[in-house]
Amino acid sequence: MKDSLFWRRVSNVLFFLLPLIPLHAQQLAFPGAEGFGAFATGGRAGTVVHVTNLNAEGAGSLADAVSKSGRIVVFDVGGVIDITNKAITIASNITIAGQTAPGEGITVYGGRVIASGNSNIIIRYLRMRGGKSVNQSKCTLTLDNCSNVILDHCSISWGPWDDVHIKDANNITWQNCIISEGIEPQRFGSITDGTRNWTISHCLWIDNKSRNPKMKCYLQYYNNVVYNYAMGIIGGHSAGDNYQDVMNNYFIAGPNTTGDKYFDDWTATDHLYSTGNYYDGNKDGKLNGTLITDHNSATPMSEPTLKCNGPMNLQTAEEAYYEIVDHVGASRVRDIHDRRLISQLTSLGTKGAFIANEEDVGGIGKVAGGTPVEDNDRDGMSDAWERENGLDPSKNDATAKTLGGGYTNIEHYINSLACKTAFVMYPTDVTATLLNPTTARINWTNNEPEAVANVLEMSEDGKEFVEIQRLRPSYAYAVVRNLTEGKLYFFRLKTLVEEGESAYSAVVAVNDEYMRPGGGTPAGTSTFTPKEGKYYRILNYATVPFNSGTTIAGNPKYLCFNSNGTLGSTEEYRWDDTALMWDIQPMGEGFSFRNVGTDKYISAANRTIASADRIGTSDTPAVLTINYTGNQSPSQSGLKTAVSMYRINSPSSSNMQIRARKFPDDWFWGSGTLDRSDMIFTFVEADIQQVTPVAPLQARAQATGYYDLQGHRLSSPPVRGIYLQRSSTEDGRIETRKLVR
């Protein structure tokens, strides 16, 4: 089944719609809306608000955009919105148009999304992934006491209690959504209590132990697929009466499915109309289920109970399966997790698993941001689309109804984006491994179904890449031979399609040990000797800086100068950050320590912050000693072996040791005999040529002089015009002034 099936379905819905609009004088939320929530108005005729960043809160954030009623929310950014330990609360009369996000779209991660008590909400093409940071008694999405809500093409996962909680709600539709991978402690899909007039259609319920959903409600449930479950759909089994119309769904056993528990926990108070439902329990990789004829203790009904004015596109269970494979979830561009889940589903019994939390499946991962459309009048519609449809791209006409059909212009625009995009997916999960000192193997995952080739590029500096292989789209690895032993090489990939290409994959490298976080000096190196052509990162693994009870199980902390001029450390890591690198040179009976990023030296004096002698200079470099204390095995080093650890002492300051706090008053503390975990260090070398191809003094000389506004150096200042003058100060900084002649 290809895209034609999707558009046939939209046509069918529009066919059903024709007699409904004049009869009920109601406008669908969007073309293709079905069921009891089909007439939600969302933010129609409201203000268009742009999400301009991926912040958890504040101006330009999604949280701020949905905090006030009467808004249509569009996105200028794609990516992951990390709301760890926070929640996003959605007001009434809101449309969230996730399909407007560039790149791979939007994922909300690490916290909760709550719309409780509010009404008229449209959410489309949005991923909501809770995770282990969510309170264990809470859910990823909560819709309690809501009314007139429709979720379309959303992906909801990683809820600790359930993925979704919905109680006492009314006139609700979930369609084309993925509800997946409920996590510990329950691993459940969704629970409801008291909800009325609820439609769930064309949704995928996958890798939930139970509650797909629990139906303590009045529910219209058709054309869904439930895959890899322990218990499938659950009856209300309560004292009150519940009514469930369950039609043309497919229940497919996966690796965690045992027994035929597609219908479970039903009692006589559940009034079940069941027709056209199939169960495929043989896990043989083929779709070959059989018709379900039992009702599992529910009271059987001879006809549907619920009467709905909204459109209903009822397909066979098999047709629904193929449509779900093609279009379910935030599928304009599927992220790595939805692609993984669809791969499990299409294995038809051989793939899939319940998970404890997101770490079992690699964490949240990355979502490509893409490039926003050009929208000069900021009305939420791309300038190109406005021109194509006879609108004025310089006029804010979002809420006008120029294009007819009962929808505002902005609604026509966002509805036009509700299909698979032309965004070309790049290879992911790229790794580079040395098979031997001169041969590397590059592995990756292909994600673009329309690919015609993959291009592998290589670089020796991480900046200038050249194509080295062009491979068939079915290939997921390449072997690169004739490398120079011990030399650093970088690799990246892109995917080609007939009329375009993807963005580049992540860059990976071989012989890149010094680029990775963590590490340390090889164990047993009792005498540390700096090498020519190398800078060094100085690492400490203390769990608590400057604390006698600390251990070496902490994250890598890199010695650096604090912003206030004191000596400290940071966990913020970038492999080419010169502020984390030290030029260590022999001097007298010890060494000098120059910070590459600031061109400052560690002073041997034990002075206060206010002292002018706090930082040494090239005129007065201090002598420090490096003293071996033995081997240690920091758990966060990233190494399987132990590393050598050292004290850094000041002979001119009672042989006291360096300490690295965030804002210390003194640099040194204690006698040279102390061996505390927060005062011992290890070293990782970095190649000077990879980090700073121009020596600091040469760079300083080149930086001084006259430049135009584009940064091009001038041989002399111009006779007239605007230019920049750069000069070095006594402390080595480069100052820039704008001059006008």
With beta carbons less than 8 A apart as the criterion, state whether 321 and 286 touch.
Answer: no
Spatial separation of the C-alpha atoms in residues 149 and 71, rounded to whole Å: 15
Spatial separation of the C-alpha atoms in residues 345 and 285, rounded to whole Å: 10
Spatial separation of the C-alpha atoms in residues 115 and 128, rounded to whole Å: 13
Spatial separation of the C-alpha atoms in residues 203 and 206, rounded to whole Å: 10
Spatial separation of the C-alpha atoms in residues 425 and 427, rounded to whole Å: 7
With beta carbons less than 8 A apart as the criterion, state whether 649 and 567 touch.
Answer: no
Strand partners, 270: 242
Count other Cβ atoms within 10 Å, centred on residue 60.
Answer: 17
Spatial separation of the C-alpha atoms in residues 604 and 651, rounded to whole Å: 8
Spatial separation of the C-alpha atoms in residues 295 and 277, rounded to whole Å: 11
| Residue whose tokens read 């009150």 | 240
Spatial separation of the C-alpha atoms in residues 399 and 44, rounded to whole Å: 8
Rounded to the nearest 5°, which phi and psi values hold at 346? Answer: -75, -10
Q: What are the residue ranges of helices labelled H in 596-695?
A: 688-691
Spatial separation of the C-alpha atoms in residues 475 and 461, rounded to whole Å: 26
Is 211 noted as a catalytic residue in this protein? yes
What residues contact 526, with CB distance under 8 A and at least 6 apart?
Answer: 628, 644
Q: Which amino acid is at 528?
A: F
Spatial separation of the C-alpha atoms in residues 428 and 546, rounded to whole Å: 41
For residue 495 the two structure tokens come to: 């995917």
With beta carbons less than 8 A apart as the criterion, state whether 295 and 121 touch.
Answer: no
Spatial separation of the C-alpha atoms in residues 344 and 325, rounded to whole Å: 11
C-alpha triplet 471, 475, 478: angle, nearest 5° = 70
Spatial separation of the C-alpha atoms in residues 714 and 725, rounded to whole Å: 10
What would you report as the CA-atom Rg of the chain, rounded to the nearest whole angstrom?
31
Distances from the Cα of 41 to the Cα of 127, 380, 479, 561, angstroms: 21, 18, 55, 56
Query: Catalytic one among 211, 332, 647, 659?
Result: 211
What one-character-per-residue DSSP string does 223-291 give?
S-EEES-SS-EEE--SSS-EEEEEES-EEE--TT--SS-SEES--TTEEEEEES-EEE-S-SSS---EE
Strand partners, 521: 644
Active site residues: 211
